[in-house]
Copies of this chain bind each other. A is one copy, B any other.
């Protein structure tokens, strides 16, 4: 269904890479990180949100490429030996496993820079896109830091800590993707608020679904009740709230996200369609089975 849009996203990413005039080594490493697969959830959300507010998807290509570059940057650096020390991602070697740590650090830096280069180029770059993107990136890095080092406010219990990590580490960029799509099609303040609400809700739902899958897949495949996150002592939604409440939370968030979509539909924006946002929501929720 999204095949054409996925091709547009790859084209936009290639254009962003070319525009950066990378050295041969950086070009190889960044291409490996960016074009080695991935669901393209965030750039698809940018394009879908542009469609949902009546803008041509073309207006959102640069923002879509930018947010995928931020996502790719975060994966390259999180995979580094000093952080998660992951050697394989999506079935292929991670950037540092293939190209060494030094180039992986520089490639992550380059991808983050390419994001801002992409979002600030073109005939009429929108400063609000850049402000949203930098704010969301900052939240993502803060979330990663809380997750790795703790340092939570003293009065935060486990549930509040988990919310803080989820809201920032994964939620910020997903929320941002929806807002960027709306900004690209000059959406009204009210539509932008609906998109932000949809994105924040989807982001949290996406993470809880991930936590549930980690928990239940371990149970089914490995024959024990604890997932790898639980083993690693990480806060997850099922660890803090239990599996039943996690599934109930997903159902509630799904309703909330549907509500935001309904408000966008009710606005009857000329040429707008929420079909792609609905399809993405459906895909995310169906992962829990």
Among the stretches A123-131, A195-203, A218-226, the one at the interface with B is: A123-131
Main secondary structure of the interface of A (DSSP, over half): helix
Q: Is A131 a contact partner of B120 (Cβ separation < 8 A)?
A: yes
Docked-complex contact A138 and B83, CB < 8 angstroms: no
Q: How far is the CB of A187 from chain B (nearest CB, A)?
A: 19
Min C-beta distance of A238 to chain B, whole Å? 25
B23 touches A138 (CB 8 A): no
The answer to whether B121 and A138 touch across the interface, beta carbons within 8 angstroms, is no
Contact with B along A127-143 (1 / 0, CB 8 A): 10011011101100110
> In the complex the two chains form, what is the Cα distance from A80 to B20 in whole Å?
24
Q: Is A82 touching B110 in the complex (CB atoms < 8 A)?
A: no
The contact string, 1 if C-beta is below 8 Å from chain B, for chain A 83-116, is 1000000000000000011110110111011101
A22 at the interface (CB under 8 A from B): yes
Instruction: Decide: A125 and B131 in contact? CB cutoff 8 A.
Output: yes
A77 within 8 A of B: yes
Indicate if the CB atoms of B141 and A131 lie closer than 8 Å: no
Set B100, B105, B120, B142: member contacting A21, Cβ < 8 A = B142
Question: How many Å from the CB of A54 to the closest CB on chain B?
Answer: 23
User: In the bound complex, do residue B120 and residue A101 qualify as a contact, i.e. CB atoms below 8 Å apart?
Assistant: no
Q: Are A141 and B106 in contact (CB under 8 A)?
A: yes
Q: Is the CB of A25 within 8 A of B149?
A: yes
Q: Which of B80, B127, B134, B141 contacts A26 (CB 8 A)?
A: B141
A142 and B22 within 8 A (CB): yes
Task: State which of B82, B103, B131 has its C-beta within 8 Å of the C-beta of A121.
Answer: B131
A138 near B101 with CB under 8 A, answer no
List residues of chain B with CB within 8 A of the CB of A141: 26, 106, 109-110, 113
4 closest Cβ contacts across the A-B interface? A82-B101, A120-B130, A117-B134, A120-B131
Q: List 25 A-B contacts (CB under 8 A).
A: A23-B145, A24-B151, A25-B151, A26-B141, A26-B142, A73-B109, A82-B101, A83-B105, A103-B145, A105-B105, A106-B144, A106-B148, A110-B145, A112-B113, A113-B137, A113-B141, A116-B116, A116-B130, A116-B133, A116-B137, A120-B127, A120-B130, A125-B130, A126-B127, A127-B127
Given pairs A23-B146, A116-B130, 4 additional interface contacts (CB within 8 A): A23-B145, A77-B106, A108-B109, A109-B141
